[in-house]
Amino acid sequence: MERNEQLFDEIKQSMKPLFEKARAEGLWFYHDGFSGPFWMTPNQLQRHQDNNKFVWGPVNWELRHPSEREEYLLLKVRDAQAALDAWRQSILDEGRGE
């Protein structure tokens, strides 16, 4: 077995308790990385790890309720809507010479 394969297997083994807890409690895996936060269901992360992707140890993951993701997305939608409304208003204001 190659060294990388052995390391991946060790990491995957260390993740088993988190997968069990996530599935038992309906939680998702959360990671806040350089490219921003991302979320995965236990099944999604399991599929990735089966393909040796996102094979990171437990210290890199938090288990969170999926409703937190929904709240985050709704906030982004509200922020985007406010920005769009402000932009549209600036166009109207410009047309009135304001």
pLDDT tens per residue across span 32-51: 988 888 899 999 999 999 99
| pLDDT by position in tens, the chain (length 98) | 587 889 999 999 999 999 999 999 999 999 998 888 889 999 999 999 999 999 999 999 999 999 999 999 999 999 999 999 999 999 988 887 76
C-alpha 12: how far from chain center: 19
Q: Count the helices and strands in the chain (H runs, E runs).
A: 3, 3
Q: How far is CA 55 from the centre of its chain?
A: 15
Is residue 26 within 8 A of residue 66, CB to CB? The reply is yes
Q: Identify which of 8, 93, 14 has the alpha carbon closest to the alpha carbon of residue 61.
A: 14
58 within 8 A of 18, measured Cβ to Cβ: yes
Contact 20, 52 (CB under 8 A): no
